[in-house]
Structure 1
Amino acid sequence: MGIRVGIDVGGTFTKAVAIESVSGALVGKVTVPTTHHAAEGVARGLVEAFRSLLQRTGIDVESIELIVLSTTQAVNALLEGDVAPVGVVGIGQQANRKEAFRRTRIDAVQLTPERRLPVFHAFLDAEELSEARVADALRTLMARGARAIAVSAAYGVEDPTPERAVLDVATSLGLPATAGHEMSGLYGLEVRTLTAAVNASILPRMAETTRWVEQSLAASGLQVPLMIMHGDLAVSPLEEARRLAASTILSGPAASVAGALLYHKLLDGLFMEVGGTSTNVGVIRHGRPVMKYVRIMDHPTCLRSVDVRVAGVAGGSLVRLRGRKIAGAGPRSAHVAGLPYPCFTSPEMLSNLRLVTLAPRPGDPEDYAALEDDEGRRYAITLTDAANALGLVPEGDYARGYQESARRALAPLAERLGMPVERAARLILDEAAKEVEPLLRDLVREYRLRRPVLLGLGGGAAVLVPVLADRLGVDYQIVPHAEVISSIGVALAPISVEVERSFSPGQPARLLEWVRELEQVAVRYGADPKTVQVTVEPIPERAAVRLRAAGTCRGTAGSRLGKVDLATARSLAAQALRVRPEALTLVFDNGFYRVFQTETGRTFGPFRRRRRLAVIDREGAVRFVADDGTYVSGEAQELEQKLRELSDSQSRWYAVRPNVLIVQGPRCLNLPHWGPHLFDLSQLGLDGAVREPIAVLAGMSLVRR
């Protein structure tokens, strides 16, 4: 039996799971406190969780095929100011020297309201970029206080040679360094520079963490790939985190929603991950989590991650008092205060409780409510206690505690408030919900969601999700194993890599070159070449394309969990097209993608029937939707004439060229505009060398990221 291990380092707890590779069955799970303040940082808790998992499940180390991690290390480093001062090396040619100098000379980066990243500057002419000049510039930056280097050249995405030259010298001097072209393939010199600086600043801490993890796990006898999840759902070898540390920001929420979609296929909806200290909310669109570029305070970056909004309340949040009124809950939690939850304490242990207030940490206001007994033992009053007092947490749920204990705990508070326990408990949950509700409503408006389902994730999901669903008037679903869903998500995630490139529609050969490069990167990361699936989608607002390659780790069994059957794919396509499932016809299925179509009544103007199309991949994501499209298929040698006929028919009805989707085997190319270059299929690598059916769809795609 092959086993995959997933470990997620959260803000409050570190969770580890063992998953049977093929069936996706959960073999075992453990939770330990996250070790923020240990000398080894969060890495200590990560290793403790792994060792505890082995002990609890009795798993043989030799049966483990793969370990995948997600970690808060990058976020912690930025929030806590655990960063290295950065020397920024700008590079420009004589023709653009002034402009390049100005756009690479960034100010100190505000990481939080209290913390800034110190930045020092140097500038080099590309025409005079000798090794000696570079070394002198780097030594000068080191003398001024720089402990890491960011190098950013004008037009570095077109020719990264100057940036690589600086990286080589930095490595020889023992300096961690990042180049702008490593962070993005898009134009935008200032944003690339700032992103490279932020990434460089956390390289020393991330290198220290990953080394400790590798050494500790190796000491347990492990000789399997160690992988890490990034905030954009990409999964790469752990050593990539030493190069692209900042890309792991928000990898925890990414892992959670990835895990949730394995169990619950959802076309459009909201997700809400309720932890112990904070709650993350986001959107699922077209079967995938919505992504956005990360902002650090007011600074835009090139980093893409799951679009997450954060509220400072969760299952472990402490209730706050103002006189005889509840003044909300959080941001401090029972974990931070070091207090136990009364609902997880047997009722007989709770007697003669009196209400007190305290400051969980030095400098905090002394308005957090707690309980104290005659022997001086103290207990928290949390949202989880309120939900249990009301009997809202179902049997078997992770947050389920003793209802009697919860009621005893809330009795002194209710007495202070002058109301019954039930009303006090409801008031606590309502006050907490007010912190999260505006975030959810903003997402509904921003993404124009119509009666979305609210998906509950995290150990505290049963505490807050039903309350928020009721306030929003929507249905909700709490996913199985919600408390460890992030660890399940990383354990079963495919190896994947994503890049963005500036692109002109008349460059099909260049696009194919990028596709092949990305396939090779995925294989180099450890993916089985036969399983690598590549998708290309346009980014019209940036005149660019986004490419993603994903595949099963070589030497491991691919899990069946998360793969959709025909009925589920048909249902998702029907939702995307807003028709009944029985109205759809399956016209193409190659094991990676399914194409469904339906025809509607005649339209005005050109008197013809409209063909509506939807493409669903094997994970249930919608890759293409056209309200009025055209579809042809066949082997490469059959298609060129069909494509010419298709182009003629399209040009009659469209004022602008429609998007085109080309599917062959695991490749899915969503091209921004139709053009004559598509007639030559060999330019796209579809020259018949691989005798597989090809599907070509054209239409104004409704899918947006």
Structure 2
Amino acid sequence: MTDHLLLGIDTGGTYTDAVLFSETEGVVAKAKALTTRHDLSVGIAGAVDAVLEQAKVPAGAISLVSLSTTLATNALVEGQGGRAGLVMIGFGPEDLKRDGLQEALGSDPVIFLPGGHNVHGGETPLDMTALDEALPQLSAQVSSFAVAGYFAVRNPAHEQRVRDRIRDVSHLPVTCSHELSSKLGGPRRALTTLLNARLVSMIDRLIGACEGFLQQRGIDVPMMVVRGDGALISAAEARLRPIETILSGPAASLVGARHLTGLDNAVVSDIGGTTTDVAVLDQGRPRLDGEGAVVGGFRTMVEAVAMRTFGLGGDSEVRINDRGLQARIDLGPRRFLPLSLAAFQHADAVISVLERQLRTAHGGRHDGRFAVRTGLPDHLASGLQPQEQALYERIGAVPVALESLLTSTLQKATLDRLVARGLVHICGLTPSDAMHVLGRQDQWNATAARLGAELAARVKDGSGKPIASSAEALSDMIVARLTRQSAEVILSSCLAEDGAAIDPAVSLAVDRALKREPGIVAFSLSLDRPLVGLGASAPVYYPAIADMLGAESRIPPEAGVANAVGAVVGQVRASVTVFVTVPEEGIFIVNGAGPSSRFLDEGAAFASARARAQMAALTSARSNGADEPAVMMREEIDAPDIEGSRKLVEARFTAIASGRPRVAHG
């Protein structure tokens, strides 16, 4: 039998990564291309064509494609997404005030319908009059619908009837809350369903871009998407439930980290250009956020990795605070375009300005800084204020020095707004530039990095002395700061996991331990598990960070493409819970994974619930693309002894089916 080649793709905010993976040989080829936001298929094509070329294999050799992405997370964080109509069954307007639902809804329309069920699955009659009156007009104003019914997790019949009516009239995508979560808590389930409906068109675009590219290359194989808990789902399911792909990228990097290192217990820290993500691997599985993932300030009901994200990366802004007697350097949270990268693309425009600024006797406020358009298409720059439009027109595809662009203090705030909208990059000194000066990175233009560092080293501190004696000395200070800030964010994540309320950035004891300062009392700290460093720049930063934290450092050779590896080595996993409740003595109601059933015998009710959960989990795992799923059962029975006799309150039977995804047999 020939070895199957699996293609992993990770579409991030900056780069799209591709990996060709063989189950016997591991990573066969890897490549990166810039993510092209105006048309995602361009970046996907760039990365995939490069790995096929590198491996010298035809497209037909691929037997599975799997995708991880941060696009859904970024969209929710940035408040983007389509307009959705929310239909609430059995709820009233006061329910919008709970769990941030009103805030999330914003100006999107909502319809309240009489109906819903009780905890045992009994119904209040459903009345769809208000829906029928509103639908013809609403269908033209929204791009999708979200439907949430009272106790729909116990009986989804009303949600299903409303969904079918909306589909018949509008032909738009509809998400029902019972399809996303089996947990109680109507308003938060409604919020999760609403966010899901908003993301449908965006994830549809990403999957469509990927499918379109694969079709052009004649690759006709199963396609999977990574879920926020690290498991895989079929592309068709991801289109229906895109909310499950929030935190897909970080989850894939954890799965990749475990596969690449073989470690069951580790702290995993992934450094990118913009952010550092920190999470914990426990007994071979990512720790999940028990309360549900928080994205863009909203707590959802989506099971996802417990991941903490910090605005600290290789391209973070270097901020110099020169007011004290000794200057202080801080990094982030804003991302800059490194001077070395800007000059790699536009050497003449950048280097000539930096050389001229160095020749002047006194430094200027905006020395070493430029502005350049990000390359987003024009229609995304619509709705600018007149002063924003005027400044935007003076910025082009070639970096322009801030000293000549900004003529007043007010214009600085205008520029910051253009940056916040993703239309303009500021180019300036970053840790990546410092690494070029020190000779530890060499992929871009080291001359521009050195000139930028020399300019920044001239800045005087409160005592009137330059903050550094040379470009090298300043670069050492920047890298030391990145090491220390990284150690602090990793520590704060681990302390939070331990439930310890200590802020490492302000704790004097932590400061002494990290600096290893001598004293009668010697403070030290260490992690109880290895630190796995991921990200393209992990090999240059993480050995020193692990050393500071007293941890063993593990940086796999494929650290730069761990997400794409995680996308192909994951498992399909489906979980279904069925409940047994007792509305009155001697009557047992089985709810979940189908219509309610009534039993007069507890044993028969339990057997039915077990069989129902198993069957539904297996069916779900297979529809999600699992090949030969295996099932594990978990049972929780609440039956306290009351006055000497056992009284059943509720029993929960959870079946978890998991297996590797199906592959195409060429």
Aligned to 2:380: none
**Alpha-carbon offset, residue 184 of structure 1:** 0.4
**Alpha-carbon offset, residue 308 of structure 1:** 1.1
The one of 478, 489, 506 equivalent to 2:566 is 489
Retained in 1: the 8 A contact 2:113–2:128?
no
The one of 525, 533, 539 equivalent to 2:630 is 533
**Alpha-carbon offset, residue 459 of structure 1:** 0.9
Q: Give unpaired runs (5+ residues) of structure 1.
A: 93-98, 365-369, 394-398, 558-705
Whole-Å separation in 2 of the counterparts to 1:260 and 1:117 = 42
**Alpha-carbon offset, residue 170 of structure 1:** 1.9
- Can you list the C-alpha shifts for 1:478-516, whole angstroms capped at 9, x where unaligned? 122111111111122233334556678983541342123
Whole-Å separation in 2 of the counterparts to 1:321 and 1:408 = 17
Query: How well do the aligned residues superpose, as a CA RMSD in angstroms?
Result: 3.9
**Alpha-carbon offset, residue 385 of structure 1:** 3.0
The one of 424, 434, 442 equivalent to 2:474 is 424
Whole-Å separation in 1 of the counterparts to 2:283 and 2:194 = 34
More strand by percentage: 1
**Alpha-carbon offset, residue 305 of structure 1:** 0.9
Question: TM-score, normalised on structure 1?
Answer: 0.66
Matched, 1:170 2:166: yes
**Alpha-carbon offset, residue 43 of structure 1:** 4.2
Retained in 2: the 8 A contact 1:87–1:122?
no
The one of 546, 552, 566 equivalent to 2:660 is 552
Q: 1:237 to 1:67 in 2, by over 3 A?
A: same
The one of 439, 454, 460 equivalent to 1:411 is 454
Aligned to 2:24: 23
Aligned to 1:195: 192
Matched, 1:386 2:434: yes
Whole-Å separation in 1 of the counterparts to 2:612 and 2:128 = 31
Whole-Å separation in 2 of the counterparts to 1:30 and 1:152 = 43
Q: Match for 1:553: what amino acid? A: P
Whole-Å separation in 2 of the counterparts to 1:502 and 1:465 = 47
Aligned to 1:60: 58
Whole-Å separation in 1 of the counterparts to 2:226 and 2:218 = 23
Aligned to 2:112: 122
Aligned to 2:419: none
Superposition pairs of residues 247-286 of structure 1, within 5 angstroms: 247-286=244-283
Q: Match for 2:534: what amino acid? A: L
Whole-Å separation in 1 of the counterparts to 2:261 and 2:206 = 34
Q: 1:63 to 1:555 in 2, by over 3 A?
A: same
Whole-Å separation in 1 of the counterparts to 2:570 and 2:654 = 20
Q: 1:75 to 1:318 in 2, by over 3 A?
A: same
Retained in 2: the 8 A contact 1:501–1:545?
yes
Retained in 2: the 8 A contact 1:192–1:301?
yes
Matched, 1:160 2:159: no
**Alpha-carbon offset, residue 356 of structure 1:** 1.8
- Can you list the C-alpha shifts for 1:62-83, whole angstroms capped at 9, x where unaligned? 2110000012231233234332
Matched, 1:148 2:144: yes
**Alpha-carbon offset, residue 322 of structure 1:** 4.4
**Alpha-carbon offset, residue 195 of structure 1:** 0.6
**Alpha-carbon offset, residue 33 of structure 1:** 0.8
Q: Match for 2:476: what amino acid? A: R
The one of 42, 45, 48 equivalent to 1:47 is 45
The one of 614, 618, 623 equivalent to 1:519 is 618
**Alpha-carbon offset, residue 164 of structure 1:** 0.8
Identity of aligned residues (%): 27
Q: Residue 480 of structure 1: SS of its match in structure 2? A: coil
Retained in 2: the 8 A contact 1:312–1:331?
yes
Whole-Å separation in 2 of the counterparts to 1:494 and 1:199 = 23
Whole-Å separation in 2 of the counterparts to 1:84 and 1:125 = 27
**Alpha-carbon offset, residue 197 of structure 1:** 0.9
Q: Match for 2:494: what amino acid? A: V
Retained in 2: the 8 A contact 1:334–1:340?
no
Q: Residue 303 of structure 2: SS of its match in structure 1? A: strand
- Can you list the C-alpha shifts for 1:565-600, whole angstroms capped at 9, x where unaligned? xxxxxxxxxxxxxxxxxxxxxxxxxxxxxxxxxxxx
**Alpha-carbon offset, residue 221 of structure 1:** 0.9
Retained in 2: the 8 A contact 1:28–1:53?
yes
**Alpha-carbon offset, residue 206 of structure 1:** 2.4
- Can you list the C-alpha shifts for 1:380-412, whole angstroms capped at 9, x where unaligned? 53212324544667xxxxx87798886565333
Whole-Å separation in 1 of the counterparts to 2:171 and 2:257 = 42
Retained in 2: the 8 A contact 1:7–1:15?
yes
Whole-Å separation in 2 of the counterparts to 1:217 and 1:209 = 12
Q: 1:470 to 1:148 in 2, by over 3 A?
A: same
Aligned to 1:653: none
Structure 1 stretch displaced more, 71-80 or 197-206: 71-80
**Alpha-carbon offset, residue 350 of structure 1:** 7.2
Aligned to 1:307: 306
**Alpha-carbon offset, residue 192 of structure 1:** 0.8
Q: 1:159 to 1:239 in 2, by over 3 A?
A: same
**Alpha-carbon offset, residue 179 of structure 1:** 0.9
Whole-Å separation in 1 of the counterparts to 2:143 and 2:111 = 13
Whole-Å separation in 1 of the counterparts to 2:287 and 2:163 = 33
Q: 1:16 to 1:138 in 2, by over 3 A?
A: same
The one of 227, 234, 239 equivalent to 2:236 is 239
**Alpha-carbon offset, residue 267 of structure 1:** 3.5
**Alpha-carbon offset, residue 475 of structure 1:** 2.1
Q: Residue 77 of structure 2: SS of its match in structure 1? A: helix
Retained in 1: the 8 A contact 2:222–2:663?
no
Q: 1:414 to 1:535 in 2, by over 3 A?
A: farther
Aligned to 1:222: 219
**Alpha-carbon offset, residue 89 of structure 1:** 1.4
Q: How many residues align?
A: 527
Q: Residue 526 of structure 1: SS of its match in structure 2? A: coil
Q: Give unpaired runs (5+ residues) of structure 2.
A: 117-123, 359-366, 374-387, 393-398, 406-425, 460-466, 499-525, 582-601, 639-649
Instruction: Pick 1 or 2: higher relative contact order, CA cutoff 8 A, min separation 6.
Output: 2
- Can you list the C-alpha shifts for 1:4-47, whole angstroms capped at 9, x where unaligned? 10000112111001112x314322111011122x1x3x344223
Q: Residue 302 of structure 2: SS of its match in structure 1? A: strand
Q: Residue 159 of structure 1: SS of its match in structure 2? A: coil
Whole-Å separation in 1 of the counterparts to 2:202 and 2:400 = 39
Retained in 1: the 8 A contact 2:188–2:301?
yes
Q: Match for 1:161: what amino acid? A: A
Superposition pairs of residues 174-185 of structure 1, within 5 angstroms: 174-185=171-182
Aligned to 2:554: 477
Q: 1:246 to 1:432 in 2, by over 3 A?
A: same
Whole-Å separation in 2 of the counterparts to 1:290 and 1:239 = 27
Whole-Å separation in 2 of the counterparts to 1:231 and 1:117 = 28
Aligned to 1:460: 537
Q: 1:411 to 1:342 in 2, by over 3 A?
A: farther
Retained in 2: the 8 A contact 1:43–1:213?
yes
Q: 1:296 to 1:491 in 2, by over 3 A?
A: closer
Q: Match for 2:157: what amino acid? A: T
Whole-Å separation in 1 of the counterparts to 2:41 and 2:607 = 45
Matched, 1:211 2:211: no
Q: Match for 1:167: what amino acid? A: R
Retained in 2: the 8 A contact 1:339–1:379?
no
Q: Match for 1:8: what amino acid? A: D
Q: 1:315 to 1:62 in 2, by over 3 A?
A: same
Question: TM-score, normalised on structure 2?
Answer: 0.70
Q: 1:501 to 1:421 in 2, by over 3 A?
A: farther
Aligned to 1:294: 293
Whole-Å separation in 2 of the counterparts to 1:435 and 1:166 = 51
